[in-house]
Amino acid sequence: METISEQACFGGVQGVYRHGSQTCDCDMTFGLFLPDEARDGPVPVLWFLSGLTCTHENAMTKAGAQAHAAAEGIALVFPDTSPRGAEVADADDFAMGQGASFYVNATQAPWSKQYRMWDYLAQELPDLLAAEVPLDMGRQAITGHSMGGHGALTLGMGLKGRFRSISAFAPMSNTTQSDWGVPQLSQYLGEDRTAWEAHDASLLMARDGFDGPVLIDQGTADQFLDKLRPEALARAIAERRQEATFRMQPGYDHSYFFVSSFMEDHVEFHAQALWA
């Protein structure tokens, strides 16, 4: 881990770090907040996955999560949303390529060489942090916004036993039926739609659910509601009788004003599961 920056933050440290990733075949950057309690030993960790066009920096600077995490004594990890660099495949469409990995392991050229964000988040980055940072990897939770909400839900349900709780802000909820999903999954994973199913939160919820609590917040004034398809996820939660809270928040849009408004609720929700 190469230190890019470290600043005192709510009694702890907000850092930005870079490392060479074998999984993504490029340098990867991430943010990490450690509360003051980490000076004395490992602390629980909450992952925050960001959305389209974002880097590690968006949620780190806009979500207001550090104050709430410090109050609960938990760490925050802010990964990047994709591999990056001049040699990394990209696209003119903001919803494809760098900043738009959809958190999958791509199987189709040119994406398959480096777009392996599922493995990066499931194995490489957690292994690095476990070796270098005082984190209690037996106490993990995950959240995210938009494409990151999709990632939080699919990783959370797909990695059985890894996370104690899942939450999401305005997640892409039904990617196999959405303009935010079908074009990207077809390019990353090919035309066999059965390969897409592991990356659709509504299908995973209906099929597998999650062995723990789930919290979803969605704004009613979100300009992307037709692409997000929250009704599909709400229906799957209800039909499965999943332990979950699904809240439609009146007047809120898709921005970080929305995310920051309910971040305290989400951190407290995860803290209850992490410290149980």
Share of the chain above pLDDT 90, in %: 100
Which pLDDT tens digit goes with each residue over 90-131? 999 999 999 999 999 999 999 999 999 999 999 999 999 999
pLDDT of residue 65: 98
Among residues 56, 150, 254, 266, which one is catalytic?
A: 254
Question: Would you say how long the chain is, in residues?
Answer: 276
- Categorize the per-residue pLDDT at 245 as very low, low, confident or very high, splitting at 50, 70 and 90: very high
Examine the residue annotation and report whether 222 is marked as an active-site residue of this protein: yes
Share of the chain above pLDDT 70, in %: 100
Which pLDDT tens digit goes with each residue over 214-228? 999 999 999 999 999
Neighbouring CB atoms inside 10 A of 93's CB total: 11
pLDDT of residue 222: 98
Alpha helices (H) in the chain, listed in sequence order = 57-62, 65-72, 117-119, 125-132, 147-158, 182-189, 201-207, 225-228, 230-240, 256-274
Distances from the Cα of 106 to the Cαs of 97, 100, 159, 199, in angstroms? 11, 12, 18, 12
pLDDT of residue 7: 98
Examine the residue annotation and report whether 254 is marked as an active-site residue of this protein: yes
> Average per-residue pLDDT in the chain?
97
Examine the residue annotation and report whether 68 is marked as an active-site residue of this protein: no
Which pLDDT tens digit goes with each residue over 258-269? 999 999 999 999
Among residues 50, 82, 146, 178, which one is catalytic?
A: 146
Structural domains present in the chain? 2-274 (3.40.50.1820)
Distance linking the first and last C-alpha atoms of the chain: 31
Residue 245 exposure: Cα atoms within 13 Å on the Cβ side: 12
Q: Is 276 helix (H, G, I), strand (E, B) or coil?
A: coil
Cα–Cα dist 126/2, whole Å: 16
pLDDT of residue 196: 97
Cα–Cα dist 194/251, whole Å: 36
Which pLDDT tens digit goes with each residue over 24-65? 999 999 999 999 999 999 999 999 999 999 999 999 999 999
Among residues 217, 222, 266, 270, which one is catalytic?
A: 222
Which pLDDT tens digit goes with each residue over 127-154? 999 999 999 999 999 999 999 999 999 9
